[in-house]
Amino acid sequence: MPVFGFPEPLLDALRTARRMVVLTGAGVSAESGVPTFRDAQTGLWANFKPEDLATPGAFRRNPRLVWEWYATRRARVGEAQPNPGHFAIAELERRMPEFLLATQNVDGLHQRAGSRNVVELHGNITRTKCFEEGTAVESWPATAEAPPHCPRCGGWLRPDVVWFGEMLPEEEFARALAASRRCEVLFSVGTSALVHPAASLPLDALDAGAWVVEVNPQRTPLTPRVDYFLEGVSGVILPALLKAAWPA
Ligand code: OAD
């Protein structure tokens, strides 16, 4: 494990913090083999852009294509395993009296790594809902049709994720915003900090006087604003940071 010289004030802030928020993006799952949004789409989907598929309009125009794209991603997520970055975030939660993980990821890997207090700002690809009713659908009769139909109203089924142009789940975002305004330390991990309103949470924390720490191998629009920019991949940086803060 490479030894990082983390700034002592940051380690002290972690040891004394009582209220923490962690905001994550696709970068946290990159080391689990789940492609990020802004990596080139590989393989079968190389000639499609997420922005062209992850929208209600795209679904109405070509429901089979969108359903099958998500089925491919769901299968890939099912094969993925949480990585050391996910486990480090779950350990951080266990060390904090008050903790909230606000994730933009839809892969459910944080929960599989043991994170408990999680809000999914953009939904979860393993859940399905009715396109017409907007309510969850746990099961439906086996069918070769893609997308399958809602057993209640006959409308199309769709993944329970937030598409471009759709509102975030209100309660989840409200919880993340309240926590960001209360916390003493907010981590922004593995996100390009481009997509609002999730990208505004670190700014709300800064405005409320919190320490903001960014973990990313690349700089982002948030980088100039943060107190600490830890350059590197989360699967290495986060375990090393915990080891430095709590060596025993
Ligand atoms: P992006 O693909 O926009 O950004 C991924 C970020 O992770 C980039 O800043 C990378 O530098 C960084 N990264 C890559 N590998 C990493 C690693 N191993 N460790 C740490 N960071 C790493 O993904 P998001 O920021 O999550 O929204 O995108 C935000 C939203 O845009 C997504 O939730 C999705 C998309 O539109 C919806 O679907 C509504």
- Percent above pLDDT 70 for the chain: 95
Q: What is the atom index within ligand 1 of the atom nearest the CA of 26?
A: 26
Query: In this structure, are residues 222 and 214 in contact, taking their beta carbons and an 8 Å threshold?
Result: yes
Residue 1 has pLDDT above 50, yes or no: no
Which residue(s) pair with 20 in the sheet?
99, 185
Cα 153 to averaged position of ligand 1 atoms, centre (Å): 35
Residue 47 has pLDDT above 70, yes or no: no
How many C-beta atoms lie closer than 10 Å to residue 80's C-beta? 17
Give me the mean pLDDT over the 7-18 stretch.
96
Residue among 107, 216, 219 to mutate when testing ligand 1 (max atoms within 8 A of CB) = 216
pLDDT bin (cut points 50, 70, 90) of residue 27 is very high
Give me the mean pLDDT over the 69-89 stretch.
95
How many C-beta atoms lie closer than 10 Å to residue 203's C-beta? 16
Cα 150 to averaged position of ligand 1 atoms, centre (Å): 32
Supply 121's token pair. Answer: 């700002």
Query: In this structure, are residues 193 and 221 in contact, taking their beta carbons and an 8 Å threshold?
Result: yes
Q: Per-residue pLDDT tens for 182-231?
A: 999 999 999 999 989 999 999 999 999 999 999 999 999 999 999 999 99
Give 223's contacts (C-beta < 8 A, 6+ positions apart).
214, 216, 229
SS (HEC) of the chain: CCCCCCCHHHHHHHHHCCEEEEEECCHHHHCCCCCCCCCCCCHHHCCCCHHHHCCHHHHHHCHHHHHHHHHHHHHHHHHCCCCHHHHHHHHHHHHCCEEEEEECCCCCHHHHCCCCCEEECCEEEEEEEECCCCCECCCCCCCCCCCCECCCCCCEEEEEECCCCCCCCHHHHHHHHHHHHHCCEEEEECCCCCCCCHHHHHHHHHHCCCEEEEEECCCCCCHHHCCEEEECCHHHHHHHHHHHHCCC
Whether 233 is in the pocket of ligand 1, judged by its Cβ within 6 Å, is yes
Residue among 37, 59, 220 to mutate when testing ligand 1 (max atoms within 8 A of CB) = 37
Which pLDDT belongs to residue 36? Answer: 85
Give me the mean pLDDT over the 107-116 stretch.
98
Q: Per-residue pLDDT tens for 80-99?
A: 999 999 999 999 999 999 99
pLDDT bin (cut points 50, 70, 90) of residue 51 is confident
Residue 232: CA count within 13 A, CB half-sphere: 15
Give me the mean pLDDT over the 237-248 stretch.
95
Query: In this structure, are residues 182 and 208 in contact, taking their beta carbons and an 8 Å threshold?
Result: yes
Q: What is the atom index within ligand 1 of the atom nearest the CA of 122?
A: 39
